[in-house]
Amino acid sequence: MNPQVPLAERIRPRSLDELMGQEHLVGKGSILRTSIDNNKVHSMIFWGPPGTGKTTIANIIAHTLKAPFFQLSAISAGVKEVREIIEQAKTKPGAVLFIDEIHRFNKGQQDALLGAVEKGIVTLIGATTENPSFEVNSALLSRCQVYVLKPLDENELIALLKIAIGKDEILSRKNIQLKETAALINISGGDGRKLLNLLEIVCDTAGKDVIITDSYVMEVAQKRIALYDKSGEQHYDIISAFIKSIRGSDPNAALYWLARMIEGGEDVKFIARRLVILASEDIGNANPTALVMANAAFDAVNKIGYPEANIILSQCAIYLASSPKSNAAVAAIGEALSAVKRYGDLPVPLQIRNAPTKLMKDMGYGKNYEYSHSYENNFSPQEYLPKEIAGMKFFDPGKNAREEELRKFLKNLWKDKYNY
């Protein structure tokens, strides 16, 4: 066994039975497993965080089907490489084409794939850490089934550690005592590859006799783990620090973590999209202009690209970090969704139903509806919720100047009914 081959590659599963996690996709009786077992695999996209088995499942599919297997990375491949593989696949029936990080393919590259997928020249398997509905064009996406992969849970990660220690040809030669696992689990964040990389670093550092404790893992990790790896090592840790710094109104920290991502070559669209989400999630109506600013920044950086996009991202991050904060919109939709789940599909009150036909009008649709603009202050205190939940409150304005104005406005209109 070549010790230069990473541990994660040395013990990569060769069958679905060896795969750790993703029982909802590949467990006994699951749709994906059934299609693989029946040799009827369709084009698909695996969407999930790093280290959850996207590449592994693609390899297992090709191995199980004994199909010609082609692999591209969207980071390095262009239209030319795509077309070359399609030409080769024309002479190899049943060919599977796996494209890692398919979200990085531009429209031209995706269009080059479309015809081959439509004609069945290749069965496409794409892998992405980004929402494919944003990054994959609709024509290609409509021809693929999207499967969502989940981070590995604690039990699955511990099982993976034990497999690596007991079955890997190199690690099994060492005397390894797995005394504590919390640090390994916490640092890996549900990423199986990251877990195995860290385990290998810890074991290499310790020599032949290895006692794995949380304190030793932390000591090694702080010295050896890379500062940033956009393919997964600290991708989610850094973006989490960035978002939490903005949420915590610390523009200096936000700029530092932004710089870490820029230096690491992070996808500019990924950063900008997270800023748009944050503008609603953490600022909302405390400063409605935040969403306008974030959306404008998203459009601008997509047009400009690096390095000038750095300035736009910096401006937006500073503005959002320096804005008043509110998560009232998040809490409000959460309460509303809970009511929907609790009470089910309640009927729309007759007076606010649409009545485009005579029959509907005869049935009382729209009857007694009070047109708001016909009343003083363009307001009528009628009930808009189903009677079963009449008067229920979902939105509680935040304790900030802008939302206090909303609170005062609503209280003035609704009096005791909406007495926040």
Q: What is the pLDDT of residues 137-171, one digit of tens each?
A: 888 999 999 999 999 999 999 999 999 999 998 89
List Cβ<8 Å contacts ≥24 apart for 285-289. Answer: 285/326, 285/328, 285/329, 285/397, 285/398, 285/402, 285/403, 285/406, 286/323, 286/324, 286/325, 286/326, 286/328, 286/398, 286/400, 286/401, 286/402, 286/403, 287/323, 287/324, 287/402, 288/402
36, 134: one domain = yes
138, 170: one domain = no
130, 33: one domain = yes
CATH of the domain at 53: 3.40.50.300
Residue of 193, 231, 238 lying closest to 52 (CA atoms): 193
Residue of 46, 8, 298, 312 lying closest to 170 (CA atoms): 8
100, 33: one domain = yes
Alpha helices by DSSP H, 129-267: 132-135, 138-141, 154-167, 182-188, 192-206, 214-224, 235-247, 251-263
CATH of the domain at 282: 1.20.272.10
294, 393: one domain = no
Pairing of strands 69-73, 96-100: parallel
Domain that holds residue 112: 22-148
Domain final position from 192, 224, 256: 224
27, 144: one domain = yes
Quick check: is 110 in a domain?
Answer: yes
Q: What is the pLDDT of residues 219-246, one digit of tens each?
A: 887 765 544 555 554 667 788 899 999 9
Domain final position from 97, 129, 148: 148
Q: What is the pLDDT of residue 229?
A: 54
279, 362: one domain = no
- Taking only the tens of pLDDT, the chain with its 420 residues reads 556 788 999 999 999 999 999 999 998 888 899 988 888 889 999 999 888 999 999 989 988 888 888 988 887 777 888 889 999 999 988 899 999 888 888 777 888 888 899 988 999 999 998 888 877 888 899 999 999 999 999 999 999 999 999 999 889 889 999 999 999 998 888 899 989 999 999 998 887 888 999 999 888 877 655 445 555 546 677 888 999 999 999 999 999 999 988 887 788 888 999 999 999 999 999 999 999 999 999 999 988 888 889 999 999 999 999 999 999 999 999 999 999 999 988 999 888 888 888 888 888 888 889 899 999 989 998 889 999 998 888 998 999 999 999 889 988 888 877 666
Q: What is the pLDDT of residue 256?
A: 94
Whether this prediction's pTM lies above 0.85 is answered by no
Quick check: is 77 in a domain?
Answer: yes
275, 378: one domain = no
Domain final position from 180, 196, 224: 224
51, 125: one domain = yes
End-to-end CA distance of the chain: 68
Q: What is the pLDDT of residue 223?
A: 65
Name every residue whose Cβ is closer than 8 Å to that of residue 382 and which is 6 or more positions away in sequence.
351, 369, 370
